[in-house]
Structure 1
């Protein structure tokens, strides 16, 4: 199976996906186009047999859109957690989507976030739960998701709402180590990069048309207990959380239906397996 994959924002996640798509055991014969803002990164991508396009959000899209016809287009451009003025970001992503559609892109995969549900709920959330974004970033993601739905008659799309992302070289226990923090009884929602890549490869191979999917582990321990175990396993100073002994609260992102639709059994369904470094 031959597939052209265009990835905007060729960063940490894209690196893992690109390696999977170009590996000898990949289920598809992929050609990859990746965007970067760096001349140095453009050279590096070329050395990996990836066609690199220098592009930053808001730039003219003409050069990038030359690669869109018949392609799977993955949009993964985080707006930045500290940025509270994201109207411009949102409109630029929407304009990029419209330009890709005009260039006859075949399928758009939008990397979204489970923060679209906000942080105030104690509910178990399925893919059909109502969004309640609280941060500027979450509100931007909801607006972009809604725009994709509005153009669904013109292009197939898949929204992937990711929980907190973990990898062998990236675990939040490292930044929390040794700190005093509140709300140790809050439930965690995490997903491992290995399971995200498997999901992306599955959606690239067999597009799930106009679907919104959750990518999250099956278990949701209290963060005060979980991050203490993680820090201990990583030989880091333990974080100290208040309220860890209190009754568990916070949202639970249920991804059961999504993993079933993808025909994937997540390798890291238990977050305690995520800090082993494997």
Structure 2
């Protein structure tokens, strides 16, 4: 069934997601912080809006953007590495003031597995978060804020490390030496799988839920990145042995196992 969907944040993930939703027959509004991107979005069938969240206000015509939306997908990275000690929580709180005044029924918030922080072992959606980074701590608080809001139903999707076109860790690991995390396990997901998982949530109306988004393939970083370097003709990164206790965690995704016959295998192709 066709829906009117808003994608707040048409970046590396948001733009191809919005494009895929348009191709599936949905009416899609997409936000960007740069008006230079309007023509690109329009050519993809996406109605473009200039929206920017700050800690004091929401810049742009947020009321028009939210009008008539049935689903809002919030896909904005915290960006705390660039803003230092800025508050992503306050920016989302500013957004929520407008969402609460709209007729939106469902919100999908793109979060991160960084909320699990120092938790080790097999991690499922039932595992309690224990974030250690500023970004992870703020994401965990925002998740609670959204799930507690009774005005709309929220689903959280916690993606692992994102890979895809023009984005892969091997591009900055190639040729490096003295790396000490070779025995840790990878918890990655490809862009195509991110999109398919989000579309599955929309199609199946999986609201009021939390899902991990990690492909079920967890070799060590040393093995995985060595193979990825060889595939690309790059110098393999060099990992050193360490006497320290190895930090290992395997993030499991319920949605991957339930819908495994539909999902892609791009991480190992």
Matched residue, 2:268: 272
- Deviation for aligned residue 1:19: 2.5
Distance 1:71 1:43 in 2: 25
Determine whether 1:221 maps to 2:211.
Answer: no
Matched residue, 2:152: 155
Determine whether 1:15 maps to 2:44.
Answer: no
* Structure-to-structure mapping, 1:227-266, within 5 angstroms: 227-243=225-241, 249-255=247-253, 257-261=254-258, 265-266=262-263
Determine whether 1:170 maps to 2:163.
Answer: no
Distance 2:43 2:60 in 1: 24
- Deviation for aligned residue 1:243: 2.6
Matched residue, 1:57: 53
* C-alpha contact 1:222 1:244 (8 A) present in aligned 2: no
Distance 2:240 2:154 in 1: 42
Per the alignment, in what secondary structure is the counterpart of residue 66 of structure 1?
Answer: helix
Structure 2 CA distance for partners of 1:62 and 1:238, relative to 1, 3 Å: closer
Structure 2 CA distance for partners of 1:244 and 1:30, relative to 1, 3 Å: farther
Q: Structure 1: which 4+ aligned runs deviate by more than 3 Å?
A: 59-62, 244-249, 260-265
TM-score between both structures, scaled by the size of structure 2: 0.90
TM-score between both structures, scaled by the size of structure 1: 0.87
Structure 2 CA distance for partners of 1:174 and 1:245, relative to 1, 3 Å: farther
Unaligned runs of 5+ in 1: 274-278
- Deviation for aligned residue 1:38: 1.1
Deviation string for 1:177-219 (max 9, x for gaps)?
1112211101110011111111111222232121000111112
The Cα RMSD (Å) is 2.2
Structure 2 CA distance for partners of 1:101 and 1:237, relative to 1, 3 Å: same
The count of aligned residue pairs is: 264
* C-alpha contact 1:224 1:244 (8 A) present in aligned 2: no
- Deviation for aligned residue 1:263: 6.6
Distance 2:261 2:152 in 1: 25
- Deviation for aligned residue 1:142: 0.4
Unaligned runs of 5+ in 2: none
